[in-house]
Amino acid sequence: MTHQRRLLVGIIQGADRHLDALDLWQKARQQDPTLNKVTVYRTLALLKKHGLVDELDLLHLQGGRHYYEARTTRDHIHLACLRCGRIQEFESSLFEKLKGQIERERRFRITVVRVEAGGYCDKCQD
């Protein structure tokens, strides 16, 4: 793991919002001005390949941009506000139970889950 890869992983893990490749590159360049975009894209591809990050489109609210987040041990649902674009994450034991039910009833081993819901956040419902 190179210094630049460690830097990118640290930024993804510490981010307070979902970052796209350009956001990630800009944040990383503040700490390492020599980092180039190719390194960011190659690192993201490597992290995805090894299951360390998830790539999300977040309902394409920002066009074709793709966002990245560190993979966690617990799946969650992304709630995307169609008005302001705010993204919230929602975890529930019911969601975990539903996954278990799907696995049992369909004899299907789930390894990746991506669920997005679009609607209006509490600030945009008025």
In this prediction, residue 73 carries a pLDDT of: 81
8 Å CB contact between 44 and 63: no
- CATH 3.30.1490.190, applies to 73-126: yes
% of the chain residues with pLDDT over 90:
85
Report pLDDT digits (tens) over 75-115. Answer: 999 999 999 999 999 999 999 999 999 999 999 999 888 89
Residue 126 has pLDDT above 80, yes or no: no
Residue 13 has pLDDT above 90, yes or no: yes
Give 68's strand partners.
19, 55
Domain span(s) for CATH 3.30.1490.190 in the chain = 73-126
- CATH 1.10.10.10, applies to 1-71: yes
Sorting pLDDT into bands at 50, 70 and 90, what band is 72?
confident
Domain span(s) for CATH 1.10.10.10 in the chain = 1-71
Beta strands in the chain (DSSP E): 19-20, 53-56, 67-70, 77-81, 87-90, 115-119
